[in-house]
Structure formats: structure tokens, C-alpha cells
């Protein structure tokens, strides 16, 4: 006489556990990258950025716009980033087409532009020639005593291009290892928890 002992593996439950663990792991990596992006975008003062580096923090809007598109059991794909056009312009840089690019040169100029919505709505601007190959500057005339040379406050530079501040690339370079480590550790934790639950279900006969 013999007794046969076997286990019926719940394939659907195991596959589901694998996909759920993978989704949780990918989302943890996206959260890690989101943090790297936000930290970088908040790291440079408004007027301290240089081409090739992180953009300067002006209003903080770009950092606040960083969102996560999470993975789920049926779509194992997670992203961190922004839909703001400003983010794309910063990443790739901008070149003029038919008009010069109007670039604020100070916080006061930035605030004036934000309030007016367009440089054409700012009254009293005068054009001042600049170096050869540039579009010059837009300025406001300051009050001066009669008979003295007029003084101007330069507010905007007219440029042919603005160098890229490739924040997405910089975030990837500095945060990829941490994101991958987060994915690995989260996957191991999630999988161990789920496989234990499936195993317990099999032993109880509930599979």
C-alpha cells in the first residue's frame, strides 16, 4: 500500500504575486527618482544656474510639477517627470525662430513678467543695443536730474538661444543607482511577503 502526496500550485496566484511585487518595486524606484528630481530642481538659486547644470529655482513650479505615473499589475511601467512645457525647454534648451528670446535678468524682471503675462504688456520699456550678434536689451528709464546722462535699468536680455539645463539627464545620472537599489530591495520584500501568503494558502488547502 502506498500514499501519494502532491501539491496543486495555484499558477494564477503565483503569477499575480510576481506582477504585484514587480509593480510595487517599480513604483518605489519612481518615488526615489522623483525625490532626486525635486531635490535637484530646488538646489540652485534663481540666478545661479549655468548651461549644462541644474536650472535655477525661480517660482519652484517645475519641482512641484514632478509627478509619478505608477505601474500596476497589468502595466509594469512606472515614470517620474512632468508634463510642463517649461520642463522640456529647460532639458533641451531653446533657440529663437523669428523673434529674439526675451530672458529676464533679475528677480524684479521675472516678477514683472509673471504679473504682466507678456513682455508686451509691460509699459515703458526701451530697447538698448547690445553686443554684436545679440538682440540687445529691454530696459526702463530711471529718473535723472535735468541735464544729466539718462540712466536705465536693464530688465530683459534678447537672446538667440538659451542653453540647456538638462535636469532630467542630471537626475538620472545622480539618482539611477538609488532607484535601482530601491527597486531591488522592495521587490525582495514584496515577493517574500506574497509568496509566504501563497504558500500558507497551499498548506491550508485553500488554493
CA–CA distance, 81 with 182 (Å, rounded to integer): 18
**Reported pTM:** 0.78
pLDDT value at position 132?
Answer: 81
Does residue 3 carry a pLDDT above 80? no
Q: How far apart are CA 42 and CA 59, in angstroms?
A: 10
Residues 6 or more apart whose CB falls under 8 angstroms from that of 204 comprise none
Mean pLDDT, range 47-56, rounded to an integer: 90
Q: Can you give the pLDDT at residue 187? A: 92
Residue 127, strand partner residues: 138
pLDDT at 1 over 80: no
More confident residue, 183 or 98: 183
Looking at residues 98-127, what average pLDDT do you find? 88
**pLDDT class of 84 with cuts at 50, 70, 90:** very high
Please give the mean pLDDT across all residues of the chain: 87
Higher pLDDT, 189 or 98: 189
CB within 8 Å of 15: residues ≥ 6 apart: none
117: left (phi over 0), alpha (psi -120 to 50) or beta: left
Cβ contacts of 130 within 8 Å, gap of 6 or more? 136, 137, 157, 158
* Band (136; pLDDT cuts 50, 70, 90): very high
Q: Which residue matches cell numbers 535637484?
A: 40
Radius of gyration of the chain (CA): 28
pLDDT value at residue 207: 45
Amino acid at each position: 500500500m502506498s500514499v501519494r502526496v502532491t501539491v496543486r500550485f495555484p499558477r494564477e496566484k503565483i503569477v499575480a504575486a510576481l506582477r504585484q511585487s514587480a509593480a510595487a518595486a517599480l513604483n518605489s524606484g519612481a518615488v526615489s527618482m522623483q525625490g532626486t528630481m525635486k531635490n535637484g530642481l530646488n538646489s540652485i538659486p534663481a540666478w545661479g544656474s549655468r548651461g549644462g547644470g541644474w536650472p535655477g529655482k525661480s517660482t519652484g513650479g517645475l519641482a512641484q510639477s514632478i509627478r509619478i505615473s505608477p505601474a500596476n499589475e497589468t502595466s509594469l511601467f512606472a515614470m517620474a517627470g512632468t508634463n510642463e512645457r517649461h520642463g522640456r525647454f529647460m532639458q533641451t534648451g531653446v533657440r529663437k525662430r523669428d523673434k529674439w528670446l526675451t530672458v529676464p535678468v533679475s528677480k524684479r524682471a521675472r516678477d514683472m513678467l509673471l504679473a504682466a503675462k507678456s513682455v508686451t504688456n509691460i509699459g515703458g520699456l526701451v530697447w538698448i543695443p547690445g553686443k554684436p550678434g545679440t538682440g540687445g536689451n529691454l530696459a526702463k528709464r530711471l529718473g535723472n536730474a535735468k541735464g544729466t546722462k539718462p540712466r536705465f535699468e536693464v530688465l530683459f536680455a534678447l537672446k538667440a538661444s538659451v542653453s540647456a539645463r538638462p535636469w532630467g539627464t542630471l537626475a538620472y545620472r545622480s539618482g539611477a543607482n538609488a532607484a535601482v537599489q530601491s527597486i531591488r530591495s522592495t521587490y525582495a520584500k514584496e515577493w517574500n511577503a506574497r509568496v509566504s501568503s501563497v504558500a500558507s494558502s497551499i498548506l491550508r488547502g485553500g488554493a
